[in-house]
Amino acid sequence: MALKRMDNVGIVVEDLDATIDFFRELGLELEGRAMIEGEWAGRVTGLGDQHVEIAMMRTPDGHSRLELSRFLRPPVVTDHRNAPVNALGYLRVMFTVDDIDETLERLRPRGAELVGEVVKYEDAYRLCYIRGPEGLLIGLAQELS
């Protein structure tokens, strides 16, 4: 059986409302919000008795999703938010936008900070990394065609 699709990328946050607002401003749509708890959930994650509030954010094309999670129980145990770009493990999500400059202007009031510079890659893209809410690392790409 072949792989069908990537369903979502999960991000654990402390302030779910602010993170939802940030990704809405970026252009994602809130698909739904729910509390996840119970014995079945703990068996999936290996965390046992858990209580998690989630929000599913969908890209405008409907093909990709972010699952934002705020753990109420058990408490968060590790913090990777300040990891540099060359840290091992999952690090960032990259979004293609129409206009990087306009996107940065809209996101700055919501806490976005440029990590390095906006750079041009050949004649194909303008690229940058930003830190979003809670220090989340996010890539932005603007196609140049």
Rounded Cα distance, 132 and 1, in Å: 38
**In this structure, are residues 125 and 142 in contact, taking their beta carbons and an 8 Å threshold?**
yes
Q: Give the pLDDT of residue 85.
A: 80
* Lowest-confidence segment of 27-31, 37-41, 126-130 by average pLDDT: 37-41
Per-range mean pLDDT, top range of 6-15, 82-91, 102-111: 102-111
Start-to-end C-alpha separation, the chain: 37
Among candidates 139, 31, 37, which has minimal Cα distance to 92? 139
Report the SS3 class of residue 80: coil
- C-alpha distances in angstroms, 90 versus 9, 27, 35, 87? 10, 22, 25, 8
The pLDDT value recorded for residue 17 is 97
pLDDT of residue 91 exceeding 80: no
Residue 90 has pLDDT above 80, yes or no: no
DSSP-derived letter for residue 12 is E
> 3-class SS at 75?
coil
What is the per-residue pLDDT for 126? 96
Structural domains in the chain, sorted by start = 9-73 (3.10.180.10), 93-143 (3.10.180.10)
Task: Output the CA torsion 126→132→135→138 (10° steps).
Answer: -40
Average pLDDT over residues 1-26: 91
- Chain Cα centroid distance, residue 70: 13
Coil, helix or strand for 33? strand
pLDDT of 64: 94
96-139 residue pLDDT tens:
999 999 999 999 999 999 999 999 999 999 999 999 998 898 99
